[in-house]
Amino acid sequence: MSTLTRKAVLLFTLCLLTWQGVTAGTKEPAGNNQNDQEKATYALIKRVLPKHANQFKIAFIPKDGDKDVFELEGRKGNIILRGNNGVSIASALHHYLKTYTNSHISWNGSNLNLPKKLPAVTQKERKVTPYKYRYYLNYCTFNYTMSWWDWERWQWEIDWMAMNGINMPLAVTGQNSIWDRVYKKMGFTDKDLASFYSGPAYFNWFWMGNLDGWGGPLPQSFMQRHEDLQKQILAQERALGMTPILPAFTGHVPPSFKDKFPNAKLKKTRWQGFEEVYILDPDDEMFTTIGKEFIQEEINTFGTDHFYSADTFNENTPPTNDSTYLNDISKKVYQSMAAVDPKATWIMQGWMFSYSAKFWQPTQIQALLNAVPHDKMIVLDLYSESKPVWSRTDAYYGKPWIWNMLHNFGGNVSMYGRMNSVANNPATALQDPKSGNMLGIGLTPEAIEQNPVMYELMLENVWRSTPIDLNTWLPNYAQRRYGQKNAAAEKAWEILRNTVYDGAIKSGGPESIITGRPTFNKKNRWTDTDKAYRPADLIPAWEALLAASKELKNSEGFKYDLVDVTRQVLANYADTLQQQFALDYKNKDTVAFRKRSEQFLMVIEDIDRLLATHDDFLLGNWLNAAKAWGKTEEEKKLFEKNARNLITLWGDKNSVLHDYSCRQWAGMLTGFYKPRWSQFFTHVNAAMAQGKTMSQKEFDEKSKGWEWQWVNSNEPYVDKPKGNSLEEARKLYQKYQPFLKSQYALL
């Protein structure tokens, strides 16, 4: 059979399959009826408050126009939670817990110390959100944080989402099964696809067409288990009234596609030094056909809520800035959705408009957006708290859009946030006549489970249309988080507000040089140590928390915060030491260099010992969760390698992304960062002893080899905390206070 004939047969087959799917109609998901939502909502209450659930009654009420609403009322000894769906009722529950019991629920320590009989609701309350949509997640979150999540962890997150008013979550887990079935219908074999699928820690970048195969080969069993997990995720989200966003086809095809279809219009893209990836040009007739089949297979497997995510140029520059070309691409991506699901709405991440701002000028942006009807596309202004795009695009030229806080890049552990922006700018944008069709707000972090205050603050906007007064909100936050009012804790938070949480506009928080590949420079490509505050100004917050520790010692949230602030103060001190031993080297002061380099290593050891006292800072959790997904020893080793690789080199030993996803975790500090710095000091000392200039290039080459060896190693790391966080923080204060006072001239 000729290539042309084979292509024609394939197109006919796929068209027939797609037509059969279309004629059968889109598969509406289960869980959207009131009975299912009632069961799901009661189940959520029982999970959150197992000993108090019988004190709550729920009822469903209509929306307020097209907006979600909840009511809270006391009646006959019961607490009545009303809402138009499960999310609204869960939000009413959360509002009750915060307002009446001073409770707090977060990733990093919760406070639910409740009396047997809950406080009565004395006055009926009703709240209507001004935002139709409350979006959640970033493609990157599914790997930098969620790579190894099981159903139990996902269920907790979905409960948290509901209580915080999230109703539009990105839901891209399990899509490899869809790709697999579509491409196998086209005649591809497991062998053809072996170099296509990435390993589990790299799905996000595989899905977005940035890379093929890295971290693989992916076991078929993992693919099936993730499909099953996605079904659980979607069922729970839908039963609570959420409308999940599923992925759509954007042209990413297997490397073997060029061999099976040599006449196909393919373009090759290369991202961050990885091997070239093949993208099917939307001008090729196969693009729409495959896109239809992808959507139909997805709907058959998962059902649909008619929201689809597609990002055609994620951190890749289009081959031309011609507006006609960009318009045609956008039109065909949308058509591949709408041909199967006429109700389809395209949810587009607006990241490229910020990341590649020089390319995406008004003409190009309008060409891409105008190809799709206004009511069939919603744009995510991904980085609104720092680099809003809506304000320089006439609010996306009429398209509905959503204001988002991105905040975290790569899962880095650093105290950081732009608190004033998050407290004020969503409401300001909502009231701005130039904001056009602003339909919602959301969270788009590359990773979560850090800086919990920033996420709680952002979500405080959900049920209000006015700015948040931080002078009132922050003390209340501290009281709820720690379980009681404490003047020293309030003082600490006021200092934190004006230091780490008054951050500059940059890609996430400042990192410590500890986590960067060793150098005498103040920073390297991904390790930016510049801070928007003086390190000395953070120390009083540490002292205030230590002063509060006697009263707040039983609070999980307090323990986390004390560890985090202590870690940040010492990491800042390490940065200062690094610049000092760099000067010692420049001055050829061998004695001073050795003394300060030893102090630097000591700080790393001390931070590691501190972090080992808290469950949220353990490398072992990440690695052991990865291994737990393995069914065989071979799979366990593969998944562990994925987990180690992502947070160190990211790619191969020559990867330009090394240390992008660095983590200040116990185990990482003494198992990876300290040995790497020790090797650097050995290298420098040897050069100084010989009167030579140290070669950074020579060291980097040696370091790459050692780093790759660590990625491929299997030494164990603990996943259980050891020691007392408060005692360790006090010891470190006593040890380092003299150094810090001398260093920062705090006399």
Q: Give the pLDDT confidence of 434-459 residue by residue, as tens digits.
A: 999 999 999 999 999 999 999 999 99
The residues pairing with 67 across neighbouring beta strands, listed in sequence order, are 64
Higher pLDDT, 657 or 36: 657
Mean pLDDT of 90-117: 98
Q: What is the pLDDT of residue 633?
A: 98
Could you tell me where the beta strands, DSSP code E, fall in 235-351?
A: 245-247, 252-253, 266-269, 277-280, 307-309, 345-349
Q: Do 493 and 564 contact (CB within 8 A), yes or no? A: no
- pLDDT digit string, tens, across residues 63-102: 999 999 999 999 999 999 999 999 999 999 999 999 999 9
Q: What pLDDT does residue 270 have?
A: 92
Q: Would you state the pLDDT for residue 26?
A: 62
Average pLDDT over residues 622-627: 98
Average pLDDT, stretch 287-316? 93
Q: Domain 1-27+170-221+243-372 adopts which CATH fold?
A: TIM Barrel (3.20.20)
Whether the Cβ atoms of residue 100 and residue 119 lie closer than 8 Å to each other: yes
Give residue 6's pLDDT band: very low, low, confident or very high (50, 70, 90).
Answer: very low
CA 133 to chain centre: 19
Q: CB neighbours of 454 closer than 8 A, spacing ≥ 6? A: 405, 407, 417, 419, 422, 501
* Rounded CA separation 635/218 (Å): 9
Q: With 90 as the cut, is the pLDDT of residue 14 above it?
A: no
Query: 3-state DSSP call for residue 387?
Result: coil
Q: The whole model's pTM is what? A: 0.95
Q: Cα(first)–Cα(last) distance of the chain, in Å?
A: 86
Q: Give the start-to-end residue ranges of the domains of the chain.
A: 1-27+170-221+243-372, 34-127, 129-157+377-468, 489-743
Strand, coil or helix: 627:
helix
367 in Cβ contact with 336 (< 8 Å): no
The pLDDT value given to residue 2? 45
Helices 590-611, 556-586: inter-axial angle, 10-degree rounding: 170
The residues, any chain, with a CB within 8 Å of residue 115's CB and separated by 6 or more, are none
Each residue of 252-263: pLDDT tens digit? 999 999 999 999
pLDDT confidence of residue 525: 87
The pLDDT score that the predictor gives to residue 282 is 86
Could you count the other beta carbons within 10 Å of the beta carbon of residue 673? Answer: 27
What does each C-alpha distance from 374 to 103, 247, 398, 402, 436 come to in angstroms?
42, 20, 7, 14, 12
Fill in the amino acid letter for 138.
Answer: N
* C-alpha to C-alpha distance for 523 and 575, rounded to whole angstroms: 10
pLDDT the model gives residue 636: 98
pLDDT digits (tens, 9 = 90+) for 198-211: 999 999 999 999 99
For β-strands 133-136 and 168-169, DSSP reports them as parallel
410 Rama sector, left if φ>0, alpha if ψ -120 to 50, beta otherwise: left
Separation of CA 193 from chain center: 28
Indicate if the alpha-carbon torsion angle 38, 43, 48, 50 is positive or negative: positive
pLDDT, residue 742, reads 86
Structure tokens at 219: 């076991």
Give 31's pLDDT tier (boundaries 50, 70, 90): low
In this structure, the number of other CB atoms found within 10 A of the CB of residue 111 comes to 23
Q: Please determine, for residue 27, whether its predicted confidence score (pLDDT) is greater than 70.
A: no
**pLDDT of 5:** 42
Coil, strand or helix: which one is 128?
strand
Question: In the structure, what pLDDT confidence band is assigned to residue 3 with cuts at 50, 70 and 90?
Answer: very low
Mean pLDDT in the chain?
94
Give residue 32's pLDDT.
66
Q: What is the pLDDT of residue 741?
A: 86
* pLDDT score of 30 more than 80: no
Q: What is the pLDDT of residues 175-224, one digit of tens each?
A: 999 999 999 999 999 999 999 999 999 999 999 999 999 999 999 999 99
| Tokens (6 digits) for 338 | 């709408």
pLDDT of residue 115: 97
What's the confidence (pLDDT) of residue 160? Answer: 98
**Distances, alpha carbon 284 to alpha carbons 258, 267, 333, 339, 407, in Å:** 13, 11, 12, 16, 38
Q: Is pLDDT at 311 greater than 90 in this prediction?
A: no
Of residues 562 and 3, more confidently modeled:
562
Per-residue confidence (pLDDT) for residue 9, from 0 to 100? 42
Tell me the fold of 489-743.
Four Helix Bundle (Hemerythrin (Met), subunit A) (1.20.120)
SS3 of residue 13 by DSSP: helix
Distance CA 109, CA 89 (A): 23
- 396 sits in the region (left: phi over 0; alpha: psi -120 to 50; else beta) called left
| pLDDT value of position 18 | 41
At residue 313, the pLDDT reads: 80
pLDDT surpasses 60 at 433: yes
Beta strands in 306-434 (DSSP E): 307-309, 345-349, 377-381, 401-405
CATH of domain 34-127: 3.30.379.10
Q: Are 718 and 552 in contact (CB under 8 A)?
A: no
pLDDT in tens, 703-721: 999 999 999 999 999 999 9
CA distances from 559 to 156, 257, 538, 729 (A): 21, 53, 18, 10
283 pLDDT tier (thresholds 50, 70, 90): confident
Query: Rounded to 5, what percent of the chain is helix, strand, coil?
Result: 50, 10, 40
Cβ pair 452, 487 in contact under 8 A:
no
pLDDT-based confidence at residue 312 (cuts at 50, 70, 90)? confident
In whole angstroms, what is the distance from residue 529 CA to residue 497 CA? 19
pLDDT of residue 33: 80
pLDDT by residue (tens digit) across 412-423?
Answer: 999 999 999 999
Mean pLDDT for the stretch of residues 23-42: 74
Give me the mean pLDDT over the 228-233 stretch: 98
Looking up tokens 């006549």 gives 433
413/560 Cα distance (integer angstroms)? 13
- Cα separation, 207 vs 176, in Å, equals 8
> DSSP state, 334?
H
Return the closest-CA partner of residue 110 out of 578, 560, 716.
560
Whether residue 412 contacts residue 508, with contact meaning beta carbons closer than 8 Å, is answered with yes
Name which of 251, 372, 255 is nearest 313 in CA terms: 251
pLDDT digits (tens, 9 = 90+) for 378-419: 999 999 999 999 999 999 999 999 999 999 999 999 999 999
Helix, strand or coil, per DSSP, at residue 380:
strand
- For residue 13, what pLDDT is reported? 45
pLDDT at 238: 98
pLDDT for 274 beyond 60: yes
Q: What is the pLDDT of residue 498?
A: 98
Q: Give the Cα separation of 185 and 9 in Å (integer).
A: 12
- Backbone φ and ψ for 123, nearest 5 degrees, come out as -145, 135
Average pLDDT of the residues in 506-534: 95
Q: Rounded distance, CA 150 to CA 523, Å?
A: 37
